[in-house]
A and B are shown apart, each in its own frame.
Chain A
Amino acid sequence: MRGAALTGADRLVLYVLVGLGVALLFVPGESGESGEVVVEGAGGFRAVVPLAEERTLEVPGPLGTTVVEVSGGAARVASSPCPEKLCVRAGDVAEAGDVAVCVPNRVVVRAEGHERGEPDATSR
């Protein structure tokens, strides 16, 4: 009494679903989606750079110049005159809440904007 499992219209629905799904995969994310990075230094130095930019900042401090590099959607301390280099080892600053701090040279690199908003864990 029932024919084939897939009618022609069924196939059409399937193709539309798969086609729409694949097409949406290639829609680029909204521009300006990434946040910005705030760089603060001694003597009231302050710069706000969008993470989408490619830029190198030279931040003056009591020990010398800290070089902050913004590229590839993340910021990092490229070089620092401080003895411990903890700020360099802090690595990429990209998501809101990420931070790299050089205490000896009074430099703070901090990402702002777009919290990821992901839950820490789920249970069910």
Chain B
Amino acid sequence: MTGGRPSRGSRVAGFGLLLAAALVLHVLERFIPTPFPFVRLGLSNVATLLVIFSLGACDAILIAVLRVTVGSLIAGTFLGPGFSFALVGGLAAAVAMAAFHRAASPPLGVVGVSLIGAAAHNIAQLAVLGALYTGAAPAMRLLPAGLLLAAATGLVTGYIAHLALGRLRLGPEALRPATAHNP
């Protein structure tokens, strides 16, 4: 165990793996029924979380944008009415989580960063709703619901990411050459 930075090859492999996981979650999420079409669990945020806690902030933002773009191409919603919501929401969540991970992650755990991301996602989507469709007042009236839903979904996705990080051994140490070739 010599430590140090993961090799370029293992970073590329990790990036591809996590992008693929993000895409699968993005598409799978469409099949999970929810009480309202616009309420979703935010499963693909699990992937963004995993990237933040393994590869880092820049890769997480990049994967979030790629995930929404390629994922909507797969699902057939590219540039559709929901696309701007998905892109802005996913990007806002990734940026907010990356910032909070960098600034306050020793006190904050995976679940805390996930909650921040869920809240940023919902606030950003309500901002899009207000700016493009309804004006500020109706969007503001949905803000309490958005924050409470974020608390619930952020808790669930954060816990899933916490479990996944423990089992997948995706931490920086797993991406080092020494443990990358586990038998």
Contacts and interface: CB of A to CB of B under 8 A. Distances in A.
Interface stretch (B1-9, B10-18, B41-49, B133-141): B133-141
Interface stretch (B59-67, B103-111, B175-183): B103-111
A7 B116 CA distance: 14
Interface in A1-47: 1-10, 12-14, 17-18, 20-25, 29-30, 33
Contacts, number: 86
A1 B168 CA distance: 13
Interface string B140-183: 01011111101100110011001001100001000000000000
A21 B144 contact: yes
A120 interface: no
Given A17-B115, A17-B154, A119-B133, A7 B147 contact: no
Contacts of B150: 17, 21
* Count class of interface residues, chain A: 20 to 34
Contacts of A122: 37, 81
A83 interface: no
* Count class of interface residues, chain B: 35 or more
Given A117-B134, A124-B77, A13 B144 contact: no
A20 B148 CA distance: 8
B119 interface: yes
Nearest to A2: B166
B133 A13 contact: no
Contacts of A12: 112
Nearest to A11: B112
Contact of B115 (A3, A10, A25, A118): A10
Given A17-B119, A124-B77, A9 B137 contact: no
Given A17-B115, A22-B148, A117-B138, 11 more contacts: A6-B111, A10-B112, A13-B115, A17-B119, A17-B148, A21-B146, A21-B147, A24-B147, A25-B144, A117-B134, A124-B80
